[in-house]
Structure 1
Amino acid sequence: MRTELTASQTVGPFLHIGLPWPDGPDVVPAETAGAIVISGRIVDGDGAPVPDALVETWQADQDGRFAHPDDPRGAVYGFRGFGRCPTDENGVYRIRTVKPGPLPTPDGGTEAPHINLSIFGRGLLDRLVTRLYFPDEPANATDPVLTTLPDPARRATLVAVAADDGYVFDIRLRGEPETVFFDV
């Protein structure tokens, strides 16, 4: 018996029905000390907003520890570390969180504070994965991931811009200047 492969399917138009949850954009409550807002727009290759995307975030807490049992320093409790926000009709997302602390690397080095992001959307066969780094962070100069990008213009697509209530991190799916995405 011979079976044929089934066709690949993209993430359909059902993101807004099944994936978001009410406090998904609130990694921390509004009254949390040091709470910031990460916001931005997701745009396509022509610069048009993507109104049917979903942004997921995963990050360490302010001390650089994860709410996960695999954190070698021990899981931190009381901090979710995970957010999920659909884009609105203008391609805008907003997530309330805290700025994470630096992370130790297995070789004794340090990763700069960053937030991991996954982007889902219609037309994508798989999620896109990127990182948000913070501006004016001295550890950016030696971060083992950020420094693998030799082109300063490409590195700049991973650095957020300071705003009154936090940071703005726009994500361009294609074209110039496309956000750097990682093959994970």
Structure 2
Amino acid sequence: MMQRLDYLKETPSQTAGPYVHIGLAPGAAGFDIYEHELGWDIAGPNAAGERIRVEGRVIDGTGNPVKDVLLEAWQANAHGKYTHPEGGGEVEDGFRGWGRVITDFDTGEWGFDTIKPGTVVGRNGAMQAPHINLWIVARGINIGLNTRLYFSDEADANAADPVINLIEWESRRKTLIAQRSERNGQIVYRFDIHIQGEDETVFFDI
């Protein structure tokens, strides 16, 4: 005999919660748990290429910074090679191509140091512009948000990128472009991520 279950209510969705930093980035949250924190060193000291800093904020629909965000970054090296077996070739010793950071609890700012990635071979041999893949998770976000960061000084490569060209509106494409500047002799790319609102960042369903 089949039992009726239509009277049962849906279980509430689980979000990252306020303790996401302790579980995923305890060192950044002030907890000395691991001898080697995962994801802090993206490029390593032996990586070739231009050393850069990437920084920004995650902005909610009201225009305020979200201060309990965790971001993961994946990238190729300066020659467009990833570290996984299908990444296209060997990478420098110590190059991880992956990192994890959290936002500052007071300002909402996040940032990391790395090297600028190179052009990557995509599907069917199509060349993808230099980019960094980002995954964002925070309290109130049921499913992690995936986006990409492209570089403002790679206009020609960006114009030919097959992923950017999937986005119909030019104004929406601009939400994926990090702006280059220089501060105290260091190259800095600014990339603010808008979760909602008029300037909402393009997110990908992957």
When normalised by structure 2's length, the TM-score is: 0.82
Cα distance, 1:104 vs. partner? Answer: 1.1
Indicate whether 1:10 and 2:15 are aligned. yes
Corresponding position of 1:104? 121
Tell me what 2:43 maps to: 28
Secondary structure in 1 matching 2:177? coil
Unaligned runs of 5+ in 1: none
Unaligned runs of 5+ in 2: 28-36
> 75-84 or 151-160, which moves further after superposition?
75-84
Checking the alignment, whether the CA contact within 8 Å between 2:47 and 2:77 is kept in structure 1 is no
Residue 180 in 1 paired to residue 202 in 2?
yes
In the alignment, which residue of structure 2 is the partner of 1:63?
79
The alpha-carbon deviation at position 124 of structure 1 amounts to: 0.6
Residue 83 of structure 1 corresponds to 99
Secondary structure of residue in 2 paired with 1:76: coil
Instruction: Quote the residue 1:139 is aligned against.
Output: 157
Q: Specify the SS of the correspondent of 2:172.
A: helix
Counterpart secondary structure, 1:37: strand
Between the aligned partners of 2:97 and 2:55, the Cα distance in structure 1 is: 16
Q: How far apart are the structure 1 equivalents of 2:83 and 2:62?
A: 38
Aligned to 1:167: 189
Aligned length: 183
Q: Provide the residue aligned with 2:170 in structure 1.
A: 152
In 2 relative to 1, CA 30–90 (structure 1 residues): closer, same or farther, beyond 3 Å? Answer: farther
Percent of aligned positions that are identical: 47
- The amino acid of 2:56's aligned partner reads G
| Partner SS, residue 124 of structure 2 | coil
Tell me if the contact between 1:11 and 1:123 (Cα under 8 Å) persists in the aligned partners: yes
Q: Which of these two proteins has the greater Rg computed from alpha carbons?
A: 2
Backbone CA RMSD of aligned residues:
2.0
Give the residue type in structure 1 aligned to 2:18.
P
Following the alignment from structure 1 to structure 2, what is the Cα–Cα distance between the partners of residues 57 and 158? 14
Offset of 1:74 from its aligned partner? 3.1
Matching residue's letter, 1:11: A
Shift in Å, 1:105? 2.1
Worse-superposed segment, 78-87 or 17-26 = 17-26
| Aligned mates of 1:98, 1:59 — CA distance in 2 | 9
Give 1:32 shift. 5.7
* Contact 1:39–1:168 (8 Å) recurs in 2: yes
* Local SS of the residue matching 2:196: coil
Quote how far apart the aligned CAs of 1:150 are.
1.8
